[in-house]
Structure 1
């Protein structure tokens, strides 16, 4: 059995689901648009530059969720899926996932975006296993705090190994371990798998992958 790990944003999706969720909340009037957009865009720029404080960002995002009634939050996410996500789940990404599923590989999405935003997206892709930043939930309501540690950078290694350990496995258990990602922020995990694939890579990852002789995969050129 092989293991196939996938980043989500700009890898399986041609958009950033986390950023787009924030923009969606602004469009529907669920947040103070001016204040939220300013902070959201600042954080997104830090992420692209590799300077993001993951805990600070996640607790900003989760704090926003905490201000919305859970029933309304669920309805908003259904609307977000229909209007934003589903049109961006493209056949080429489905086919890549399906290739690994058909081969009998263990498949997981490993994303820095929080579990609330990404769980329905993983389900829509037909992926059972999701490794994502977990919001703290008390009495069925998101508190605004992060439960555990971020799933970013080195954190993706920590959380992936912990997930495998729950199944009695390690990375060494697999004949091949693939990781598909677009971002240099994922270099820690890319660097320890047997088959790193720079997928729709940003400039920094393109440079690194080319120097290392890693394959470059462009899913969304057309």
Structure 2
């Protein structure tokens, strides 16, 4: 029988801390007692160990079970990963057997790309929503670049400061939807400038890179 590398929140409980990490075990326990937990899944601590044994690579079995977890989340939420009509966006968080607050920053709104953003805005004509979506997108690009690809926050903060200076405003909230859309493009250009490759638009690629970043975070100074 194949190893089980992925557990949905409905499959675990608080006794499985060594396998699911403290965060994963507690989310499963809260689900079991009926608290309204947004549903997701946990990749086991054993999968992280296997990643290192495989020479810092996510093997096909782990990735396949991860995508099965995504499919389950799609069914639970009635949304689809990368879909242009009703996209599923996910967060990726690190966890450990022992409590290590701040081991790695959370990545939010993974699954956004140019096409998904355009489709979300097309489905809601409210100007405030357009600004919210572009703000979420530029934040995701910055977060992914920093946490996953280790491109320093300072490069993006410099672009934000320049944008505010050019527009004659003091605060981020004073930037318009058009400003934030332009910032997102500038962020992607900075990503390519720093890494020599385009920002990943495929949600599955984004997810795989994010999982690798969680596994790698065991080697960072905070851990």
Alignment TM class, shorter chain as reference: under 0.3
From the two aligned structures, give the one with the greater helix fraction.
Answer: 2
From the two aligned structures, give the one with the greater strand fraction.
Answer: 1
- RCO higher in 1 or 2 (8 Å CA, sep ≥ 6)? 1
TM-score (norm 1): 0.27
Q: Which of the two has higher C-alpha Rg?
A: 2
TM-score (norm 2): 0.27
